Amino acid sequence: MNNQAPLRDEMNAVADDRPVKLRCKDVWKVFGAGAEKFLASREGVATSESLAEAKLVGAVRHASLEVKRGEIFIVMGLSGSGKSTLVRCLSRLIEPTWGSVELDGMDLLKAKPDELIEIRRHRMGMVFQHFALLPHLTVLENIAFPLSVQGVDRKSREERARKVIELVGLSGREQFYPRELSGGQQQRVGIARSLAVEPEIWFLDEPFSALDPLIRREMQTELVRLQSVLKKTIIFITHDFDEAIRLADRIAIMKDGEIIQTGTPEELVLHPATDYVAEFTRDVQRSKVMSAARLMRPVTPSADYGGTVQATDKISTFSARIVGCRKSFLVTAPDGKPLGEVTPDAVIDLLADRDPLREARV
């Protein structure tokens, strides 16, 4: 349909508007003797065959990505896919063998050790899968720890720590030790600790993978709530595609050290780049990732609408209502301009997994 193309461009423009916070280009992490020379001699171009020939192992291979300010960017992959290594390259916990990493346009790989320490102290925060809390410190001391490393005096760092404790809902537990807390509470401490320095960029390394499914869900909701307040730039690693879909603005899917597709959940589900991605997305409930804009058709003049939804609203948020009232809904842009309509039949088809897109796409 004609009026959809400009709309999609418009939506993309909204997303692209935000400046790039972290950009990594052609990053390689190759293990083995002489890895650096090998990549340097080929200017960062290598195939898995040539790597194997040189007896090298490529943990991360020509990975490039751009994370925008305020975005939740998810790196998804199964274990051994190199997602953890990639994210550690971005924070230089692991030194990349080749490539460039830029934070706000500054080359992170050229930073000297003391500059790197400064960057980490003030601009980066990280949450770990197994919490990585210091066992000998109380909750309060753990959270104040990054500040104490910076040399902030006790009074102001504890004041700041108490603020983040309140933010993550742990008030009253300040004097407990990590082992006295449940897993979920421990990860709240981990989150609070990484927020204590007010980082610009927030790395979350499978933060909820070690938690029970119920707690995990609760923590995901909590993260969404926190992000709505804090608006950090988040790089989130997970092996759980459902978690990725739930939280992501955009997702990068990794396999064998390569990023095989980057896109919004909707794009991944609708246009999987490879069979591997399709395998992941097959069981995803489409109504949860597809927005109203994807399903709408042009406005029927003088129609009787059962309700109004935003173009970016996910179908699942109004599917029950639209099916219940059996009337089409009007889809509007954020400024209230009508863009199109969604019919109950289209929604039912979607829920029933009959491909309704063919109709929408024509």
Instruction: List interacting residues with another protein (CB under 8 A).
Output: 88, 91, 93, 116-122, 124-126, 128-132, 134-138, 145-146, 148-150, 174-177, 179-180, 197, 203, 205
- The dihedral region occupied by 81, where left means phi > 0, alpha psi between -120 and 50, and beta the remainder, is alpha
Least gap, CB of 191 to another protein (angstroms) = 13
Report the alpha-carbon distance of residue 17 to residue 2 in Å, rounded. 24
Whether 160 and 140 have beta carbons less than 8 Å apart is answered as no
Nearer to another protein, 116 or 273 (CB): 116
- Taking the C-alpha atoms of residue 77 and residue 294, their distance in angstroms, rounded to an integer, is 27
* Residue-by-residue DSSP string for 204-230: EESTTTTS-HHHHHHHHHHHHHHHHHH
Please state, in angstroms and rounded to a whole number, the distance separating the CA atoms of residues 235 and 248: 10
Q: Is the dihedral of CA 323, 324, 329, 334 positive or negative?
A: negative
Q: Which is nearer to another protein, 143 or 277 (CB)?
A: 143
CA dist., res. 177 & res. 98, Å (int): 41
> With respect to another protein, which residue has the nearer C-beta, 118 or 212?
118
Nearer CB in complex with another protein: 91/328: 91
Dihedral sign, CA of 139, 141, 144, 149? negative
Cβ of residue 220: shortest distance to another protein, in angstroms?
21
Rounded Cα distance between 296 and 313, Å, is 12
Q: How far is the CB of 125 from another protein (least distance, A)?
A: 8
Evaluated on CA atoms 152, 154, 160, 161, the torsion sign reads positive
What is the rounded CA–CA span in Å between residue 24 and residue 28? 10
CB of 154 to another protein, least distance (A): 12
Choice between 11 and 111, CB closer to another protein: 111
Between 170 and 346, CB nearer to another protein:
170
Shortest gap between Cβ of 258 and another protein (angstroms)? 24
DSSP E strands: which ranges in 83-192?
98-103, 106-107, 124-127
Nearer to another protein, 116 or 230 (CB): 116
Residue 176 Cβ vs another protein, minimum distance, rounded to whole Å: 5
Gap between the Cα atoms of 15 and 309, Å rounded = 20
Smaller CB separation from another protein, 201 or 315? 201
- What distance in Å separates the CA atoms of residue 22 and residue 200, rounded to the nearest whole number? 10
CB of 334 to another protein, least distance (A): 37
Compare residues 201 and 293 and give the one whose CB is closer to another protein.
Answer: 201
CB of 221 to another protein, least distance (A): 24
Beta-bridge partner residues of 233: 201
Q: DSSP labels for 308-333?
A: EEETTSBGGGTHHHHHHHTS-EEEE-
In the complex, minimum distance from the CB of residue 228 to another protein, in angstroms, rounded to a whole number: 24
